[in-house]
Structures are given as C-alpha cells and as structure tokens.
Amino acid sequence: MVTLTIDGKQVKVEEGTTILKAAEKLGIKIPTFCFHEKLQPVGACRMCLVEVEKMGKLQVACATCVSEGMVVRTDTPQVRTARRGVLEFLLLNHPLDCPVCDKGGECELQNQVFKYGSDKGRYAEQKRRFIADPKSKYDDLALGPQIIRNMNRCILCRKCVRFITEIAGETDLGTFGRGSRTEINALPDIPVDNPYSGNVVEICPVGALTSKSFRYRIRVWETEPSASICPLCGDGCNITVWSKDQKIYRITSRRNDLIDEGFLCDRGRFGFEFVNHPDRLKQPLVKKDKEFLSADWDEAIKLVASRFEAIKRRSGADSLAGVGSPKLTNEENYLFQKFFRVVVETNNIDHRVDSKHPLPDPNFKAKNHIFGMTNSISQIEKAKLSFVLGCDLQKEHPIITLRVIKSTRSGNALIVANPQRTTLSKFAQDELIYQRGTELVLLNSIAKVIIQEKLFDADKTTLSADQMDRLQENVQAFESGEVSQVTGIDPEKIKKIAQTLAKAESVMILSGKEIIGHAENTKIIDLLQDLLGLTGHQNKDNCGVNLLWEHCNSQGALDCGLLPERLPGRIHLSDGVFRKGVEKIWNAKVKEEPGLDFDQMLKSALQGKIKAMYIAGADPVSTSPDGNLVKEALKKLEFLVVQDTFLTETAKLADVILPGVSFAEKEGTFTNVEGRIQKLKKAFEPLANSKEDWQIICLLAQAWGYDFDYTSPAQIFKELVKVSPIYAKASWEDLDKMENK
C-alpha cells in the first residue's frame, strides 16, 4: 500500500493507482474529458492537471501513478488557470451552439465551462469548419445506421475510437489527419455498424456523436429516467429507460461491473421500439364468427374462466395446459405455475417452446448442479482458457462476448468450436468448424487423445475409478480416421485442442443454443463435465461448464417452477417433504405426477386429449422450429387463450386475447444467465386498457373463485422467497442495493 496526501487529506491506496482514482477515494472530483474507467488512460485532454509537490510542472491525474509520501493539490490557482486554458483552447473552434446541440443538458464541456471557463474569449478569427456536405449547414455525417458525427463539436478525446478498438475489438472507426485537421471517421464504404456502436454515443462527452433514433426528438430534461433490466437476451444488462407520455425515447447503460461494465449492445440500446409500436394490443379481444371483437375485462375474464371450468368438469384437469414464457418476470411465471397447479389442478405447464428438442433434464448430473452457469460473468475474464462450444456467442450473448474479448486481451487463450464460423473466431487461438450434430463424436475424440497420450495427472483427476472406466470404454469406439470423416476435423487439430485443454491452468466452457437444443444434450454436457474432471479442472477456481440460456428470464422460468415435473426451486414433484411444505404455504394440494412438456402437449392436442391451452407471453407458432406442427395442434383445441402484447401468429388462432404489457410498464425481477436476480422498475403505466401479466392471472383466479389477492409484485416475490430454496436469501428491499456486489 502507498500513503499520500491529496488536498491536505491522507489516503492509502494500492501501488499502481493513479492520482485520479486516489482522489476519488477521498470524494475529490477531478474533471476529465478523455478518461474512461474501462479504457487505457492517455492523458489527451489535459483537463485533469494537478500540482504534485517536488515536480516542476503540472501532472495529468488520470495517467500519473501515486508514490509513497506524494503530496497532491487539485484546486490551486495554477491548476484552475491551467483548466481555464484547456477550455479556452477547446472553444477556439468549438461552435457555441449549446441551445441547438443535442447534447445540451448533459454535456461535459458545457458543465466544465460553467465551473472553470470564462465568459469572454480572445479568439477573433473565423472558426475551423469540417464540412461534411456543402449543401448542409449542419455538417452532420452518417458514420453508420445509427451514428451521426458532427466533427466541429469534437474535442478529440478519442474515447470513441479507443472503445471500438480496446473493448469491442473492432476496426470500423479511426482517427485521420493531423493537427487541427484531425478528424474521427470511418473508412469509405465501411460503415460503423458493429454490434456495440451505440456505446460511442454514450461515452462521447460532447455533441460530436449522436444517435439517429434519439437526436432532436426531445430534450433530455423533459424525459423521466427509470432503472430497468434489458429484456432482449439472458445477459441481464442494467439499463436506464428514458420516457415521456408513455413512450420510450432512448435507453442508456446503468453500469454494473459484475455484468455489463457500463456497456450495451446495439440490440439492447436501440431495440425498444416495439414498446412504442402502434400495433400494441390495448384491450381484450374475443373471437366471434371468426372475427376479433373488443371486449371489456370482465367479459373476457368470465369467458375464459367459464370455458376452462366447463372443460375441466367434462374432461378432467389434465385436459388443460399452460405455456408461460422466459420473457415474463419471475413473479409472473411463479404466479402462472401456481395458478395451474392450484386452480386448474394440473402440472401440464412449460415454457420451452423454441427448441426442437427438450432442454436438458434439470436432474442430470444433479450432484454438480448444472442448471445454467456454474461460473459468474465476471469470472470469464479470469479463466486461462475459454472454450466456446456450440454457441454463436456474439449473437446470443453480446455482453458476455465482451468479457471473452477482454480475456484474450489479457493474454488468455480462446478456443471456438461451432458448425460455422462466427465473429468471435478472429479472437480465437484455435477454431474448430465441425459438421452440425457431431459434437458428441468430437468431444469423445478429444477425451480419447487426453487418455491415450496420458495428458492428465492421475493424482489431480476428480473422476472416480468407475467414471474413468466408463469414459475409457466409451472413447474406444472412436477411431481417428472415422472421427475426421464424421466431424470434418483433422486428427492433428483434435490432438492440438486436447493438449491445450489438458495443459491449461483453468478452463471455462461456454455452451449455447447448439448444445441446449441438441438431441443428445444430456450426454454432451455429461461428457464436458467428465473432461473437466479428467484434466483436474472440475471444482477449481475459474473453471466450469456453463449453459447459456437465451432469453432474459430463461433461468428465472426454470427457478420458478415453470416445468411439468418441478416445483419452484427446481425441486422434483416426487420430493414429498418439499411438496408438503409448498402445499402448506399455498394452502392447497399439488399433484405428485409430472405433467406434459410442450412437445407432449402438442402431441396430446393433436390426439384430442388436451382440449384447452393458455399461452402467456410466448409465440410458439413463430419461434418453434416446427411452427406448422404447432399451428396444427393449436387449431385442434376447443379453446385457446393468448396473453401477449401483439397480435402474434399464435394470438391469431386464439379464442380470447388478453393484452399484457412490455417490460417498461411493469415492476418485477428477472434472473439473468448467471443466476443473478435483478429488479426492473416501471417506467410508465400500462397503455390504454392493457394490464400487467400478474394482474391478469389474479383476475382469472378470482373469477374461478380462488383467493389470489396479491396487490403487488413485491408481495408475490416475498412468497416466492418462502417457497423456493434457491431464492431464500433474496430480499425485495435489498435488490436495489445489489449492483456491483
């Protein structure tokens, strides 16, 4: 540790800490333009100049490391004069158009001029001008689909270029020219359209870079910010929703170093327009004579309750089924499965509609608890080797991808194995492009090399003698020539990968859709576990097998019991002690026999055994690999209810449509891919006559004569905590305090 004095206050910090960070520890704010927490410091803007005793000139606080006994002064007359000088130089050519600049109200240059600048300028010459289009007086230049540049406002902090190269690992933005003619630009005919391009707008301290979707639409101070969670993938990025009059105008990051480090992908940043879409469902619809007619809530709810009750009396409770969604909140999914188990009295519930094959049985490898990620997102960058298998990581999990890229920048290795080349390939030490569906053959051949070449340490392996015998027996069936023909991978390449896996200090495996939806997914993940055990990596720090669920609350849907054979907490129905405890809390009996999963529901519907179905938040006709089969099965039903925000292809088949709301109109929690519970807050009230999904379920239960008298998501969450051992330590009140912890 190093002890120094800043503005008369002593502070102890780690060796290598900069003056800027040491001052922050004391609550002393040193102004900056070019500094960003996650970028390498460059000391370009000189705004953070400070006095350091025994140094002859002012030093940049962002790039000067502390030393023992150092004495720093951050607000002396010399420092203030220097900062005024920096601002005066920046304003020599910067247009004084704050009233029309889109950054007005949140511009760092504007703020610092108010604090340190002068209200008079000494420069009388004509300002330099970058003319993007001689016909335009605004000098705006589109660098990509979303990014608009006005070079005249740029202060050349270069944060945008540094982000693109250092964090995103892209090269589609650069610095051109020299001196006063230096400009930020893209190469000709190569637009800035990488998946993270919107971050350059957010980190730009002035109005040089703006986004097409937000610029000049509204002043930022007219909007209301609300804390929320991105609903467009399973990473769980923290976001701020900026809205007014029930309309979202933009989304920005809300930094959480454990997940997103303050960055968003463009899908999460710009993909909110569905909330504002004019085709949103705003009132209940009832089908009469093959046409949808508007109905009030009382009519729609009574119709659903009466039809479901009549079918239950005639054909039994198991003739009814419910399909929830990994896009609904934990509270909504918990209430949905409780409704079907308690009110309808069936375990025919599921949420897995996007995979042709069912997801892995949550019971497999139960001793190792493989239900999702076994590591955290922040641990990814610490693994000496990341092995991405069966996952187009940037498309499926763009922010986790940034962690993998960060890991490679630190010198850690990356192996990518997929049926096709992905954008992550350029960062990989080795890449395997195998024939689709041959993952099991490929992994067995890798295991065989490790065993035959004796690449493992017998003293460190965690496999039992029986497990080792079974593994050796299994891999004997795979000959190198046959493996090469089946997988399309050269035997020497397989040997090299096996050596890398065996020798790595720590190995983290990341698997996505190709593995989760594989016909032999359980065997594959068992084998991945065995590979880690064989090489001594199982249960070590920064090692593990990680299943990356796709949707924003896929993990939460599993945890909340939206499965035909499992209660909340992923506890099997056959666990009598646990089931009795749940029954006591619910004050109702729960069937012990597992219900039907989604695939089984479809088959039963085609056979006429499932008579009615309630689908909430899902569109299986559009998202299922076999949409035609889904459509055929749903048409066979006597009665179909769909609860959604749009008239989807599935909703078009419904007898009753109940209008739910988007993530911006509800409060609740999502559980991200690493199992982190996070709260989203309501940005504005539900549109028109739509309702929050949990409220709809309560209305339906009450119409059926049951006491679902919940008044808020908080109340539902507190019951979930009592029921689910996974969430037993969670607290609704503490969720707001959990960022970066």
Q: How far is CA 246 from CA 144, 161, 222, in A?
A: 29, 35, 13
Using CB atoms within 10 A of its CB, is residue 292 exposed (0-12), middle (13-18) or buried (19+)?
middle
> Within a 10 A sphere around the Cβ of 175, how many other Cβ atoms?
14
> Within a 10 A sphere around the Cβ of 118, how many other Cβ atoms?
11
* End-to-end CA, the chain: 24
Q: How far is CA 643 from the centre of its chain?
A: 24
Q: How far is CA 183 from CA 30, 142, 152, 156, 540, in A?
A: 27, 14, 9, 8, 48
Predicted local distance difference test score (pLDDT) of residue 358? 61
Question: Hey, is 244 helix, strand or coil?
Answer: strand
Cα–Cα–Cα angle for 142, 148, 154, rounded to 5 degrees: 120
Q: What is the 3-state secondary structure (H, E, C) of 221-234?
A: HHCEEEEEECCCCC
- Fold of domain 285-354+553-737: Rossmann fold (3.40.50)
Per residue in 581-637, pLDDT (tens digit) is 999 999 999 999 999 999 999 999 999 999 999 999 999 999 998 999 999 999 999
Say which CATH architecture domain 366-547 belongs to: 3-Layer(aba) Sandwich (3.40)
Residue of 250, 299, 300, 301 lying closest to 276 (CA atoms): 250
Predicted local distance difference test score (pLDDT) of residue 367? 39
Which H or E run contains 508? strand 507-511
Cα separation, 370 vs 373, whole angstroms: 7
Sign of the CA dihedral with 484 first, then 489, 493, and 498 last: negative
Q: Strand pairing of 544-547 and 71-73?
A: unpaired
Ranges of residues in the chain with a pLDDT under 50 are 364-368, 740-741
Q: Please tell us whether the domain made up of 108-276 is placed in CATH 3.40.50.2300.
A: no
Q: Which residue has the tokens 């490391």?
A: 65
Predicted local distance difference test score (pLDDT) of residue 307? 97
pTM recorded for the entire structure = 0.93
Residue of 226, 253, 263, 266 lying closest to 242 (CA atoms): 226
Tokens encoding 297: 């809530």
Q: For the chain, which residues make up each domain, given as ranges?
A: 2-91, 108-276, 285-354+553-737, 366-547
CA atoms within 13 A on the CB side of 440: 14
Q: How far is CA 691 from the centre of its chain?
A: 25
Using CB atoms within 10 A of its CB, is residue 615 exposed (0-12), middle (13-18) or buried (19+)?
buried
Q: How far is CA 704 from CA 315, 638, 694, in A?
A: 17, 19, 16
The b-or-e profile of 380-417 (16+ CB within 10 A means b, else e) is bbbbbbbbbbbbbbbbbbbbbbbbbbbbbeeebbbbbb
Predicted local distance difference test score (pLDDT) of residue 476? 80
Cα separation, 412 vs 459, whole angstroms: 26
CA atoms within 13 A on the CB side of 602: 18
Sign of the CA dihedral with 320 first, then 326, 332, and 338 last: positive
Helical residues (DSSP H) of 639-712, grouped into ranges:
693-703
- Main-chain dihedrals φ then ψ at residue 159, nearest 5 degrees: -60, -35
Q: How far is CA 24 from the centre of its chain?
A: 29
Tokens encoding 72: 């720093």
Cα separation, 422 vs 729, whole angstroms: 39
Residue of 530, 580, 552, 561 lying closest to 362 (CA atoms): 561
Tokens encoding 71: 């004495």
Give the type of residue at 662. S
Q: From 2.40.50.180, 3.10.20.740, 3.90.480.20, 3.50.50.100, which CATH number describes the 2-91 domain?
A: 3.10.20.740
Give the type of residue at 183. E
Contact 407, 386 (CB under 8 A): yes
> Within a 10 A sphere around the Cβ of 610, how many other Cβ atoms?
27
Nearest 10 degrees: CA dihedral of 533, 537, 543, 548? -30
What single string gives the DSSP state of each residue in 575-643?
-HHHHHHHHHHHTS---SS----HHHHHHHHHTT---EEEEES--HHHHSTTHHHHHHHHHH-SEEEEE
Residues with Cβ < 8 Å from 733, sequence gap 6 or more? none
Predicted local distance difference test score (pLDDT) of residue 42? 93
Predicted local distance difference test score (pLDDT) of residue 71? 96
Using CB atoms within 10 A of its CB, is residue 527 exposed (0-12), middle (13-18) or buried (19+)?
buried
> Within a 10 A sphere around the Cβ of 736, how many other Cβ atoms?
12
Greatest Cα pair distance in the chain: 92
Predicted local distance difference test score (pLDDT) of residue 135? 79
